[in-house]
Structure 1
Amino acid sequence: MKLYLYFSSTVVIIVLASCSLPGTPQKPQSDIGQVTQPQLRVVTLDDNSKIAMGQTIYVPIYSHIYYENQKEVLYLSATLSIRNTDLSNPIIVTSVRYYDTEGKLIKHYLERPVELGSLASTDFVVERTDNTGGLGANFIVEWIAKKKVSEPVVEAVMISAASNQGISFVSPGRVLKNHNNK
């Protein structure tokens, strides 16, 4: 009888532990692939749009790096991150272009300008298996604002986690041109 009560109690506890109350959020089984990209508002710019400031920014990207005296190659994925640091005002990202080592345009990442709200961010990914850019690949990012804002942070994070090796590093963007009071 004691064994039957113990077994019954154990089954009840297991069943109750595996159930959830209605409205209780379920935890994902894995964190991989659970990232959601915020919706960005597409904006239309015309010749009469008042622009207070903006920039053209160059961001180096590394699709691979050499090690072991250039005998071995480690392929990397790259995430371009654009972060609006202004506390109150949006910025408008007008262009995100990806170029290869030779300076040839590979891809336009935006079809139309998008608004990035205050303290919001967005990113663009070059997969580890995409080696079209080569070692000297880069992004050119252009943004504008209708009011004076604090400059955004534009940088790339490269990462590889192959086998027992892992590497990651950040490549900051560099301002090529400031656009003021157009």
Structure 2
Amino acid sequence: MKPKYLVLVLIFLIFNCEKKNGIDTLNSENWSKRKINHVLNDSLEYGKSYLSIYSEIYSFTDSKKISLTSMISIRNTSDLDTIYLLKAEYFDTEGKSIRKYFDYPIFIAPLETTEIIIGEKDVTGGTGSNFIFEWKKQKNTPEPIFEAVMTSTMSQQGLSFTTQAKRIQ
């Protein structure tokens, strides 16, 4: 392939992986496939977890920021039981809701992991963004794990760190 055509193909691919309606479309989850079509049992244990993430971090001073990609991992740690997510809501530094990912209960199968990706160009969360997850599980079933990996790469430099959720209810 001629170099000028290769460059055009690369430009096309780059621009087609960009944002759609302000939300990064790369690795987006189809939550509707996980929708629960029945009423959840009242005997399930309810939990609520808080996860801090960072869309941006400060670099050198408070006037220079680095944008990050945040990969939120939702893990069912049980090898036997399904867990149910009732809510996954993203908030900015000021505590204002940015988006809810679904309006209905969804399931996470035993030992399954699903993800939410906040793209590097989506800095609406700011330096103190966070998630609230509400969930249900069988009694005596291990709690789900909510973790985030924040990354950024520039030239030959790389930056990454993780956060883990804390149960708040």
Q: Is the 8 A contact 1:51 1:145 kept in 2?
A: no
Could you say if the C-alpha distance between residues 99 and 37 of structure 1 is closer, same or farther in structure 2, counting changes exceeding 3 Å? closer
Amino acid at match of 2:90: Y
Q: How far, CA to CA, are the matches of 2:53 and 2:47 in structure 1?
A: 19
Q: Could you tell me which residue of structure 2 aligns to residue 26 of structure 1?
A: none
- How do 1:155-174 and structure 2 match up within 5 A? 155-174=147-166
2:103 aligned with 1:111, yes or no?
yes
Identity of aligned residues (%): 34
Unaligned runs of 5+ in 1: 1-33, 178-182
Gaps of 5+ in 2: 1-25
More strand by share: 2
Of 41, 66, 80, 2:34 maps to 41
Cα distance per residue 1:97-148 (max 9 Å; x no partner):
0001111111001232111111001111111101111111100011101443
Structure 2 residue identity aligned to 1:43: I
Number of residues paired by the alignment? 145
Given that 1:50 and 1:146 are in contact with CA atoms closer than 8 Å, whether structure 2 keeps it comes out as no
Q: Normalised by the size of structure 2, how large is the TM-score?
A: 0.76
* Matched residue, 1:61: 53
Of 56, 65, 75, the residue aligned with 2:67 is 75
C-alpha RMSD of matched pairs (Å): 2.5
Larger radius of gyration: 1
Q: Does the CA contact (< 8 Å) of 2:73 and 2:116 recur in 1?
A: yes
Alpha-carbon separation, structure 2, partners of 1:102 and 1:51? 35
Helix, strand or coil: the match of 1:118? coil
